């Protein structure tokens, strides 16, 4: 029975029409009367005290004399904004449950709850304790996700019932007003979902706020929803975390079931206790997840810092990189090289994706769980990458790591069709219960599971580690370069000193063998003269070699004398010198177009052209030898020059070695001989200008030397 009272005299303004059943009175008998008309003044005072908060004992045990004798009730009194409400539930005896029996029911639970080691274990224990307290057929714990959809995360039930554990429920299954009420009242109890509703007979025709009412009848939608599931009695206890509804403990019974107010109070207390502990357990769980992640991270970072190849260290073993962000696929992009791990789009798709995603990055990261909606080409690979997390390590070097998640379609088991919670009625959407509770898969189209903030942190930490390792390696490299430079300088100084000092005794050998030949040849036989001749020519040869070495070592110390140089003039002079030293040479020189004026050291560049032209002339067995000199201008890049001939050509495996000092491919006698230092000197000069040199050639069909000067 429910009474709406006007304070302070507690006049009855409204009363439920069922008072006749319990008290043998008509509503009209009570309307307008003070409460003391129904109960003795002492009890009325106790109710008034309960309303003012002086007495916190709720419920009060009341006895009411009726024409059928004394009847006992639990009375719960409270205030709304406008009136006072008293709710009466019939009980068998007026004896109060002692504090000790309540304590006995609850005491053990607290220590058990605290000793559970994980969130799932804790929630399971809570469900089991609620079932022990209430005797309901099924007790479940729902957890809400950020969208309001629920998932059954713990369950205990009668053995013959089919399980609901793991099922998801759409947010619309528990409408927002119902959620708000759970958050305010902690507990909702419906002993018989099919009980007919009872009218309020009113004196003042005012609507009453029944938000806090225990006896409030049930919304038709809720009745039908649960009837479809075969549920007859329902108890729902709120689980709160930081003033937000985190989830619910939902209890189902398949026949009507009444719980005394003491049991309900124990359940509410348990809900509050569980809510308090919930925050701890969630923190613990997050902490243990973070610890796991951190140890994974440090393992990965250690491998990266020890490895000579960062990519290998990242992708071996593959699951480690994926676990770092709970992804199913990943791509590591270092410059042009992309390595794929797990389930990913194709290389080409990843390449285009990086180009696009790089424009979306903020703070080195870009994460989305609905890639196909913002990057339409990804519809093609939604099964592997509906979710993308991109980490930019360096834009300039094009260093990225990408993680992928599949479309969530396969991963959720819905308890019924979430879309069918809505029905169109007269053109407008109305909430209506669902008719089917068969399992089926909801197609959450083109979306992946969302990226959690700690997963993004984890990606960011990896970036810091990689940058650290790369920087350290760069420092090591710089140090090695410094040392190399120093030893190169020492080597050049040594080569200079050695070749310089060698020249003097060599000159002596040459001079004395010449004197011997001139003044003492008559004293020797022919063999002796021959030996002396050989000594003389060997010392000459050795001098040319030493000169070449000296030239090269001097180049090592050379300062470039850069100036604007007209290459046409420079080349004409070089050609003139070449033909002056080889007056018998038969070779045509082709210069298809004017060469540019460039900034370079003219003396050294002239040596480059002379050397290359002289080689073109030497290594040619054709009847009509020619050499062509030209350039190839490229916008924004240094010009490439070439010296092409129609000579004997060079085999491919010698294309690099010919630039080494004293490397010759032919014997001394063939093709006019040489020291094998010419190309080494040419290469040195080109490199001094910051350029490169290389050759292309087909044996027998000539050779083309290309070089650039920065």
Per CB under 6 A, residues contacting ligand ADP are 615-616, 619, 645, 647-650, 658, 663-666, 674-680, 703
Shortest approach of ligand ADP to residue 554 CB, angstroms? 17
Beta bridge partner(s), residue 236: 188, 250
Closer to ligand ADP by Cβ: residue 437 or 694? 694
Match 């490397």 to its residue by tokens.
663
Closer to ligand ADP by Cβ: residue 602 or 674? 674
Shortest approach of ligand ADP to residue 700 CB, angstroms? 10
CA 676 and chain centroid, separation: 56
- How does 241-266 read in b/e, with b if 16+ C-beta sit within 10 Å? eeeebbbbbbbbbeeebebebbbbbb
Closer to ligand ADP by Cβ: residue 252 or 618? 618
Q: Distance (Å, rounded) from C-alpha 173 to C-alpha 221?
A: 10
Shortest approach of ligand ADP to residue 495 CB, angstroms? 17
Q: Is 249 helix (H, G, I), strand (E, B) or coil?
A: strand
Shortest approach of ligand ADP to residue 345 CB, angstroms? 49
Closer to ligand ADP by Cβ: residue 418 or 678? 678
Shortest approach of ligand ADP to residue 484 CB, angstroms? 24
Of the candidates 669, 546, 679, 670, the one whose C-alpha atom is nearest the C-alpha of residue 614 is 679
Contact 506, 539 (CB under 8 A): yes
Beta bridge partner(s), residue 644: 628, 704
Shortest approach of ligand ADP to residue 676 CB, angstroms? 4
Contacts of 561 (CB under 8 A, 6+ apart): 601, 602, 603
Closer to ligand ADP by Cβ: residue 144 or 659? 659
Peptide bond between residue 317 and the one before it cis (omega within 30 degrees of 0): yes
Residues 33/39/41/46 CA torsion (nearest 10 deg): -110
- CA-based max dimension of the chain: 167
Give the length of the chain: 710
Q: Which two tokens stand for residue 430?
A: 């109305």
Shortest approach of ligand ADP to residue 606 CB, angstroms? 16
Shortest approach of ligand ADP to residue 329 CB, angstroms? 51
Q: Distance (Å, rounded) from C-alpha 328 to C-alpha 386?
A: 11
Closer to ligand ADP by Cβ: residue 225 or 619? 619
Residue 231 φ then ψ, to 5°: -85, 135
Of the candidates 214, 270, 213, the one whose C-alpha atom is nearest the C-alpha of residue 238 is 270
Contact 513, 536 (CB under 8 A): yes
Closer to ligand ADP by Cβ: residue 351 or 663? 663
Shortest approach of ligand ADP to residue 537 CB, angstroms? 17
Closer to ligand ADP by Cβ: residue 216 or 666? 666
Closer to ligand ADP by Cβ: residue 59 or 647? 647
Shortest approach of ligand ADP to residue 628 CB, angstroms? 12
Closer to ligand ADP by Cβ: residue 270 or 575? 575
Closer to ligand ADP by Cβ: residue 109 or 681? 681
Closer to ligand ADP by Cβ: residue 191 or 676? 676
Shortest approach of ligand ADP to residue 544 CB, angstroms? 10
Contacts of 45 (CB under 8 A, 6+ apart): none
Q: Distance (Å, rounded) from C-alpha 180 to C-alpha 34?
A: 34
Closer to ligand ADP by Cβ: residue 404 or 671? 671
DSSP string, 353-419: HHHHHGGG-BTTEEEES-HHHHSGGGGGGTTT-SEEEEEEEETTTTEEEEEEE--GGGT-EEES-GG
Match 């007919």 to its residue by tokens.
196
Closer to ligand ADP by Cβ: residue 466 or 677? 677
Q: Is 525 exposed, middle or buried (0-12, 13-18, 19+ CB in 10 A)?
A: exposed
Shortest approach of ligand ADP to residue 607 CB, angstroms? 12
Shortest approach of ligand ADP to residue 509 CB, angstroms? 23
Relative to beta strand 365-368, strand 387-394 is antiparallel
Closer to ligand ADP by Cβ: residue 237 or 679? 679
Closer to ligand ADP by Cβ: residue 562 or 698? 698
- Residue of minimal CB distance from ligand ADP? 674
Contact 13, 4 (CB under 8 A): yes
Helices 261-306 and 453-520: angle between axes, nearest 10 degrees: 0
> What single DSSP character describes residue 690?
T
Complete edge-to-edge strand list for the sheet that includes strand 69-79:
60-66, 69-79, 84-91, 2-6, 11-16, 200-202
Shortest approach of ligand ADP to residue 663 CB, angstroms? 6
Contact 400, 359 (CB under 8 A): no
Shortest approach of ligand ADP to residue 601 CB, angstroms? 20
Closer to ligand ADP by Cβ: residue 75 or 548? 548
Q: Distance (Å, rounded) from C-alpha 603 to C-alpha 611?
A: 12
Of the candidates 130, 335, 316, the one whose C-alpha atom is nearest the C-alpha of residue 238 is 130
Q: Distance (Å, rounded) from C-alpha 143 to C-alpha 151?
A: 5
Shortest approach of ligand ADP to residue 705 CB, angstroms? 7
Contact 300, 468 (CB under 8 A): no
Q: Distance (Å, rounded) from C-alpha 250 to C-alpha 138?
A: 8
Shortest approach of ligand ADP to residue 555 CB, angstroms? 14
List strand residue ranges (DSSP E) for 479-585, in order.
563-566
């Amino acid at each position: 029975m429910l009474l709406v009272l006007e304070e302070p005299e507690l006049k009855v303004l409204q009363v439920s029409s069922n008072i006749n059943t319990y008290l043998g009175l008509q509503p009209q008998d009570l309307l307008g009367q003070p409460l003391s008309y129904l109960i003795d003044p002492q009890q009325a005072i106790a109710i008034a005290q309960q309303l003012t908060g002086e007495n916190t004992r709720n419920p009060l045990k009341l006895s009411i004399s009726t024409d059928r004798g004394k009847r006992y009730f639990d009375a719960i009194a409270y205030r709304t904004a406008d009136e006072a409400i008293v709710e009466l539930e019939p009980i068998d005896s007026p004896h109060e449950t002692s504090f000790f029996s309540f304590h006995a029911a609850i005491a053990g639970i607290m220590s058990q709850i605290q000793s559970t080691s994980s969130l799932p274990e804790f929630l399971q224990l809570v469900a089991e304790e609620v079932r022990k307290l209430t005797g309901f057929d099924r007790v479940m714990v729902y957890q809400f996700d950020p969208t309001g959809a629920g998932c059954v995360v713990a369950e205990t039930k009668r053995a013959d019932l089919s399980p609901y554990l793991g099922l998801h429920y759409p947010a619309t299954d528990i409408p927002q007003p119902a959620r708000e009420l759970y958050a305010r009242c902690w507990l909702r109890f419906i002993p018989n979902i099919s009980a007919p509703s009872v009218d309020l007979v009113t004196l003042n025709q005012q609507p009453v706020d029944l938000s806090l009412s225990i006896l409030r009848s049930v919304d038709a939608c809720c009745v039908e929803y649960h009837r479809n599931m075969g549920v007859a009695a329902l108890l729902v206890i709120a689980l709160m975390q930081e003033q937000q509804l985190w989830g619910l403990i939902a209890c189902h019974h398949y026949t009507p079931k009444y719980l005394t107010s003491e049991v309900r109070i124990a359940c509410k207390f348990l809900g509050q206790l569980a809510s308090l502990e919930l925050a701890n357990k969630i923190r613990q769980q997050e902490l243990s997840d973070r610890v796991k992640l951190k140890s994974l991270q440090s393992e990965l970072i250690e491998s990266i810092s020890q490895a000579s190849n960062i990519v290998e260290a990242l992708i071996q073993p593959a699951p480690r990189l994926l676990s770092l962000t709970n992804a199913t696929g990943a791509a590591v992009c270092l410059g042009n090289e992309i390595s794929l791990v797990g389930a990913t789009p194709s290389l080409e798709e990843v390449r285009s994706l990086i180009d696009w995603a790089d424009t979306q990055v903020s703070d080195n990261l870009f994460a989305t769980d609905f890639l196909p909606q913002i990057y339409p080409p990804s519809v093609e690979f939604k099964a592997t990458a509906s979710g993308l997390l991109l980490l930019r390590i360096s834009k300039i070097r094009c260093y990225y790591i990408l993680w992928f998640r599949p479309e969530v379609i396969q991963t959720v088991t819905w308890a019924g069709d979430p879309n069918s919670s809505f029905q169109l009625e007269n053109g407008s959407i109305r909430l209506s219960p669902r008719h089917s509770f068969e399992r089926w898969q909801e197609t959450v189209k083109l979306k992946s599971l969302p990226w959690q903030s700690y997963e993004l942190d984890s990606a960011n930490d990896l970036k810091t580690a990689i940058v650290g390792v790369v920087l350290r390696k760069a420092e090591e490299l710089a140090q090695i370069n410094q040392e190399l430079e120093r030893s190169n300088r020492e080597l050049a100084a040594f080569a200079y000193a050695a070749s310089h000092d060698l020249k003097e005794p060599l000159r002596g050998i040459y001079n004395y063998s010449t004197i011997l030949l001139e003044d003492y040849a008559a004293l020797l036989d022919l063999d002796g003269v021959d030996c002396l001749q050989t000594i003389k020519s060997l010392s000459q040869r050795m001098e040319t070699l030493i000169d070449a070495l000296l030239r090269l070592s001097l180049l090592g110390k050379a300062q470039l004398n850069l100036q604007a140089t007209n290459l046409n003039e420079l080349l004409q002079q070089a050609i003139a010198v070449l033909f002056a030293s080889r007056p018998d040479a038969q070779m045509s020189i082709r210069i298809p177009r004017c060469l540019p004026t460039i900034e370079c050291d003219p003396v050294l560049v002239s040596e480059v052209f002379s050397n290359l032209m002289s080689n073109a002339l030497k290594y040619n067995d054709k009847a009509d030898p020619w050499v062509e000199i030209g350039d190839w201008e490229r916008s924004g890049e240094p010009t490439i020059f070439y010296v092409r001939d129609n000579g004997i050509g060079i085999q491919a495996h010698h294309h690099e070695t010919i630039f080494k000092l004293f490397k010759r491919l032919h014997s001394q006698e063939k093709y006019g001989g040489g020291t094998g230092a010419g190309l080494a000197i040419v290469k040195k000069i080109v490199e001094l200008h910051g350029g490169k040199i290389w050759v292309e050639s087909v044996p027998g069909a000539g050779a083309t030397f290309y070089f650039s000067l920065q």
